[in-house]
Amino acid sequence: MTTTDESTTHTHPYGTLHGKVALVTGGSRGIGAATARRLAREGADVAVTYVNGKEAAEEVVQAVQALGRRGVALRADSADPDEAAGAARRTAEALGRLDVLVNNAGVGVLGPLEDLSLTDVDQVLAVNVRGVFLTSRAAAAHMGAGGRIITIGSCMAQRVPGPGGTLYATSKSALIGLTKALARELGPRGITANIVHPGPIDTDMNPSNGPFAPAQSAMTALGRFGTAEEVASTVAYLAAAEFITGAEFAVDGGHAA
What are the residues binding ligand NAP (CB under 6 A)?
25-26, 28-32, 49-53, 77-79, 104-108, 127, 152, 154-155, 198, 200-201, 203-206
By C-alpha distance, which of 1, 204, 210, 232 is closest to 102?
232
* Least Å from the CB of residue 237 to ligand NAP: 17
Degrees, nearest 5: CA angle 244-245-250: 80
Cβ proximity to ligand NAP, 32 vs 43, nearer residue: 32
Which of 125, 241 has the CB closer to ligand NAP? 125
The distance of closest approach from Cβ of residue 44 to ligand NAP in the complex, given in angstroms and rounded to an integer, is 18
Q: Is 168 considered catalytic here?
A: yes
Q: Left if phi > 0, otherwise alpha if psi is -120 to 50, otherwise beta: which for 68?
A: left
Q: How many CB atoms within 10 Å of residue 144? A: 11
Minimum distance between the CB of residue 255 and ligand NAP, rounded to whole angstroms?
A: 9
What separation in angstroms does the CA of 152 have from each of 5, 26, 203? 31, 11, 14
Nearer to ligand NAP, 15 or 198 (CB): 198
Q: Out of 14, 50, 168, 237, pick the active-site residue.
A: 168
Bridge partner list, 75: 50
User: Which of 1, 118 has the CB closer to ligand NAP?
Assistant: 118
Q: How far is the CB of 188 from ligand NAP (least distance, A)?
A: 28
> How far is it, in rounded angstroms, from Cα 183 to Cα 126?
22
**Considering Cα of 104, then 121, then 198, then 148, what sign does the dihedral take?**
negative
> For 252, which DSSP code?
S
Name which of 53 and 71 has its Cβ closer to ligand NAP: 53
- In angstroms, the CA 3 to CA 63 distance is 28
**Beta carbon of residue 49, minimum distance to ligand NAP (angstroms, whole number):** 5
The catalytic residue positions are 168
